[in-house]
A and B are shown apart, each in its own frame.
Chain A
């Protein structure tokens, strides 16, 4: 009744269609639904992002696991092969039999890492021994140059100039194209200057500067040379 009444009143004053409760309610409901849809959409976007991140994590975790397993299997194979040499035992059906695992040999990189970790932990004496052990045990590894470099560094830190010089000189003699050559040169040059071998030091540092005048080491070398002037 109220609706029809209001309709008459309004239409008397104005010919435009009447807005009634139902329409208002509908608009309101749409507004509510929109807000809810937006909130749900936001949630959905965030959840799918979480899912994607988790899937990526899982994938990289799997790859990591796979790599580690592969490594482990490879180590085991190597161990088996060296233990079973010269003749691998074959089973009756011809497949290779994996023998009881021998005490495995740690791969070079891991042994090196172990020694290097000691430097990080500032166990200098122990690291010197460990690096020396590494050099004697893996004479074929490329890493022995790094080991020698770090032994030089450690002696340097311990202010054992003579031994530091010995390591660096040894490294230069064996590996004149070592990738950290400028670093070795600047360190050795400084040690020469420090221990009074001025001419040798100057020669080394000048060689360093002329090899690559724009390098950081060249800058340092110049400073060293300035300082003694």
Chain B
């Protein structure tokens, strides 16, 4: 009997940082038998109370993958530190399969965090590590520890140290809106506004090294593609031709940008060289050609085209510009993106008049609809290929959702902002 487990509780993520309240995470559906992990509250060897609860951060991170389930703090029989002996029987008694212990010691540079991961059934310590860092980097250390635990237990590289960008909108009327480009941790914490405008901001996307964001925005009444360097805030204008300048996508080497321009009268896909500014027109059709997305090997570009009367995904060979249609199910397939290994694509698919995120294996051509909500769009795949972040709606609100690439785990990330959209997952930062 397949029985799915539904969680209804809300996991509050610590609020920090200068910008408004942050994303709140809610798991709507997880895997059948999540691994139970007990994260013992980390001992603080200094005085006072820290503003980050590392144990909470780690258990929330693990739980958000849907593959893990936390063990309630109140049920723990003891709260050992990394140097104490662990009585495995105590942890078995409360059904913990793995137990994480840790402590935080202040030193002259900030903190030294010591942690260990124990296999309760195997009755042994899997590993222990000491992580130093400045006081301001405590959350980073928490994400790092989460990554280590996740990788050790699943064999897959963790994505907790990665980042997100997305767009929020405050709407007062049709013509009076504030658009913000927001950068945050992968758990939605530590938000930072990196660009703000009264005109729309669209299609933010990461450079392969994670150092720059390309997006579309209007300066004055004119649309343009801009590349912003995160470390310096420096902004480079790539194009602002009359007509459309939209949907940028970095090439895997970070030197070129695929984008859509209609300067020649019709939306077409171009490749812009970021250093020389040189433009190469890649498509030529009187239908709409847009939403280019580079393949991980850099050899092809996936894009949306209405050349067949309805929007469908096509694959363009960069070297000879040959175009091949990729999607055949349904009358609306658009905004495609490759998984990091290039074996599959995720995209927006309309079925029964609703818009969902779907995944298609490129070899078998088997398609699978991953989401059940409506108006789902802007899918962006995590760098380890396990999750897809996307924009969805609930009533009048626009919010973000996470779904595992096999469709088994779903998580909602509602936000304090009424309208959250256009998420993009960063590459691995380390």
Contact = CB atoms under 8 A, between A and B. Distances in A.
Contact flag (A, B; Cβ within 8 A):
yes
Interface of A: 34-35, 38-39, 41-43, 45-46, 49, 213, 219, 222-223, 226
Interface residues of B, number: 14
A38 B307 contact: yes
Nearest to B325: A45
Contacts, number: 34
6 contacts: A34-B286, A35-B309, A45-B325, A46-B308, A49-B325, A222-B123
Interface of B: 92, 121-123, 286-287, 306-310, 312, 325, 328
Contacts of A219: 121-122
Contacts of A43: 308
A176 to B, nearest CB: 26
A41 B308 contact: yes
B309 A42 contact: yes
Contacts of B286: 34
Given A34-B286, A49-B328, A42 B122 contact: no
B122 A222 contact: yes
A222 B121 contact: yes
Nearest to B324: A45
Given A42-B308, A222-B122, 9 more contacts: A38-B306, A38-B307, A38-B308, A43-B308, A213-B122, A219-B121, A219-B122, A222-B121, A226-B92
Contacts of B122: 213, 219, 222
Contacts of A35: 309
Consensus secondary structure, chain B interface: loop
B328 A38 contact: no
A24 to B, nearest CB: 18
Q: Is the interface of A mostly helix, strand, loop or mixed?
A: helix
Contacts of B310: 42
B262 to A, nearest CB: 16
A38 B287 contact: yes
A50 to B, nearest CB: 8
Nearest to A42: B308
Contacts of A222: 121-123
A213 B123 CA distance: 12
Contacts of A213: 122
Given A45-B325, A46-B328, A38 B309 contact: yes
A190 B292 CA distance: 58
Contacts of B92: 226
Contacts of B309: 35, 38-39, 41-42
Contacts of A46: 308, 328
Nearest to A40: B309
A207 to B, nearest CB: 17
A219 B307 CA distance: 57
A41 B328 CA distance: 13
Interface centre among A35, A41, A42, A49 (most CB of B within 10 A): A42
B53 to A, nearest CB: 31
A45 B121 contact: no
Nearest to A44: B308
A47 to B, nearest CB: 10
A46 B308 CA distance: 9
